[in-house]
């Protein structure tokens, strides 16, 4: 399954940086337009732990192969996520490490069907006709407090609990991601990112940046540059992907 066969041409770009404070980049990402899958993973546990956890997720998802249907695509993804979870647990046990895991945020497209699967506070956004929608809901302590009306979004970005997540891959025997589904429309623009981006950028900041002219790769780079200029206390990763109609391919380029 390729973008062309679904009526869409997938144009995507990514950028990742360790940020201005951290010594290592524990984020990982992968873009698989031929299989209709894009993933961002944000590891936790420090060097030799978090970076390995996120890399194992990307490594497993990269082996998903060519799905024959949206249901098959999601089943293949789920199987790889289970294997990644098992490998992360084994890595932690072999090295007697207490905290090893990773968030995951994935976008899957087959035909005109889309699915977002995630665990943790990495996010997937959709920009459609100028309106930015957050497709994921953070699995985090501050998200719980926001939902309860005890914190505002701005207060959450400054909260000492902002890095406390309630779901992740590799921290329990069975992964427990959440999934939402929908339908793709021509010229939909998607953003997948780690929380290093959203810590320094509001949803309106992201919308304004994504509305600017430029290729997905250019937009991803600008998002990272803006975050670095704002202090980038964490690793930061962004994938930007546009679903262009096949007839627009000649204008878009690769």
Instruction: Please name the residue that has the structure tokens 């084994």.
Output: 90
In this prediction, residue 253 carries a pLDDT of 43
Q: Which long-range contacts (CB under 8 A, 24 or more apart) does 89-96 make?
A: 89/170, 89/173, 91/49, 91/52, 91/53, 91/56, 92/45, 92/49, 92/170, 95/48, 95/49
Please report how many Cα atoms fall inside a 13 Å half-sphere around the Cα of residue 156, on the Cβ side: 24
In this prediction, residue 160 carries a pLDDT of 77
CATH number for the domain spanning 130: value is 3.60.40.10
- Mean pLDDT by runs of 10 across the 254 residues of the chain is 64 98 96 97 91 97 96 98 97 92 98 97 98 97 88 79 89 95 97 96 97 98 98 97 78 45
Could you tell me the residue range of the domain that residue 70 belongs to?
3-252
Put residue 128 in one of left, alpha, beta given phi > 0 → left and psi -120 to 50 → alpha. beta
In this prediction, residue 248 carries a pLDDT of 53
| Residue 225 structure tokens | 């540059």
- Whole-structure pTM value: 0.93
Q: How many domains does the chain have?
A: 1
């Amino acid at each position: 399954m390729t973008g062309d066969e679904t009526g869409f041409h997938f144009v995507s770009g990514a950028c990742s940086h360790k940020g201005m404070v951290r010594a290592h980049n524990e984020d990982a990402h992968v873009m698989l337009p031929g299989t209709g899958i894009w993933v961002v993973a944000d590891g936790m546990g420090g060097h030799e732990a978090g970076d390995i956890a996120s890399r194992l997720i990307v490594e497993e998802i990269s082996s998903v192969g060519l799905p024959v249907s949206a249901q098959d695509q999601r089943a293949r993804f789920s199987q790889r996520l289970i294997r990644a979870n098992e490998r992360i647990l084994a890595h932690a046990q072999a090295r007697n490490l207490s905290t090893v895991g990773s968030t995951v945020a994935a976008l899957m497209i087959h035909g005109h069907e889309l699915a977002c699967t995630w665990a943790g506070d990495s996010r997937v956004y959709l920009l459609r006709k100028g309106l930015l929608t957050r497709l994921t809901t953070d699995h985090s302590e501050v998200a719980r407090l926001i939902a309860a009306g005890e914190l505002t979004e701005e207060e959450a970005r400054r909260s000492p609990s902002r890095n406390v997540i309630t779901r992740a891959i590799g921290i329990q025997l069975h992964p427990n991601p959440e999934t939402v589904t929908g339908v793709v429309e021509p010229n939909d623009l998607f953003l997948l990112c780690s929380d290093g981006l959203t810590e320094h950028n509001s949803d309106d900041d992201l919308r304004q940046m994504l509305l600017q002219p430029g290729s997905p790769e250019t937009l991803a780079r600008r998002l990272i540059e803006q975050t670095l200029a704002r202090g980038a206390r964490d690793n930061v990763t962004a994938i930007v992907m546009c679903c262009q109609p096949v007839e627009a391919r000649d204008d878009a380029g690769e």
